[in-house]
Amino acid sequence: MDDALLKLLRTVDTPTVCNAIEVAEGRRGFNRFTRGTVICTEPEAGAIVGYARTATLSAIAPPTEPAETVRKRRMDYYRYMSESPKPAVAVVEDLDHPNAIGAYWGEINATVHKGFGLSGTLTNGVVRDLGDLPKGYPVIAGSVGPSHGYVHVRSIDKPVRVFGLSVAPGELIHGDRHGALVIPAEIIPVLADAIRKLLDTEQLVLGPARAEGFDFAAFEAAWTAFEKART
């Protein structure tokens, strides 16, 4: 992914990217996206884009492993996140979902991950400290809660599943208030052109629909042009 594509991806929403992938593939049916409603802590910040750095955690019960093992894995986790190829997104599965209670994502962890240079977080877990999270680091989460519970890292750099979306380490993530998706690697070279084509063809309908005197005849002509441009 070059800088031009990264800049473009940060300016468009996730539904646009979802549609553009289908434009690039030449068919409907792309399905590597999240399911259900998410919470986005900073929707006005735009999309988070980056390569997935993955982990799992749990918080309902205390860890059963030796304390030294838990501490070492915690530091291994932070080292792993700090060494992320940029841009990067933390994709963290809460194994307690849908009964997650421990907010790993609050003022401290969001600030630390932003300091490491990550673009944001995608998690099915809990977020808190809504008034104190750092600007420019959106967290896309499953719920809001006050407690950290017994939160502890369980695994690092392994495939995870968040909101029904399976994510492998290193896959390219695009996410915002609508949810998130994985951009297929084979689409990356043509994605910028697909996004521009999608935006241009949408204007074939949106332009007339916003104009004075729009009626069914204008719609029919616009939609005919729209369908012709899509094929």
CATH code, 132: 3.50.30.40
> pTM for the whole thing?
0.95
Cα dihedral sign for 119, 128, 182, 152?
positive
User: Which pLDDT does position 231 carry in this prediction?
Assistant: 60
User: Which pLDDT does position 230 carry in this prediction?
Assistant: 76
Alpha helices for 99-215 (secondary structure H): 107-115, 188-210
| Domain extent for 168 | 33-183
CA distance 179 to 202: 22
Contacts of 95 (CB under 8 A, 6+ apart): 56, 57, 58, 154
Residues 49 and 86 sit within 8 Å (Cβ to Cβ): no
Which of 78, 26, 24 lies closest to 187 in space, CA to CA?
A: 24
User: Which pLDDT does position 133 carry in this prediction?
Assistant: 98
Q: State whether 85 and 149 are in the same domain.
A: yes
DSSP 52: E
β-bridge pairing 152-156 and 172-176: unpaired
Q: State whether 25 and 39 are in the same domain.
A: no
Which residue numbers in the chain have pLDDT < 50? Answer: none
Q: State whether 175 and 118 are in the same domain.
A: yes
Q: State whether 172 and 190 are in the same domain.
A: no
Residues 34 and 75 sit within 8 Å (Cβ to Cβ): no
Q: State whether 154 and 77 are in the same domain.
A: yes
Q: State whether 115 and 9 are in the same domain.
A: no
Tally of structural domains, the chain: 2
Q: State whether 173 and 193 are in the same domain.
A: no
Q: State whether 37 and 131 are in the same domain.
A: yes
Q: State whether 177 and 191 are in the same domain.
A: no
CA distance 36 to 139: 16
Q: State whether 68 and 178 are in the same domain.
A: yes
User: Which pLDDT does position 97 carry in this prediction?
Assistant: 97
Q: State whether 90 and 125 are in the same domain.
A: yes
Query: Cα 20 to the chain's mean position, in Å?
Result: 16
Q: State whether 134 and 86 are in the same domain.
A: yes
Give whole-number Cα distances, 15 to 20, 47, 52, 61, 69, in Å: 8, 11, 19, 37, 41
User: Which pLDDT does position 229 carry in this prediction?
Assistant: 85
Give the three-class secondary structure for 165: strand
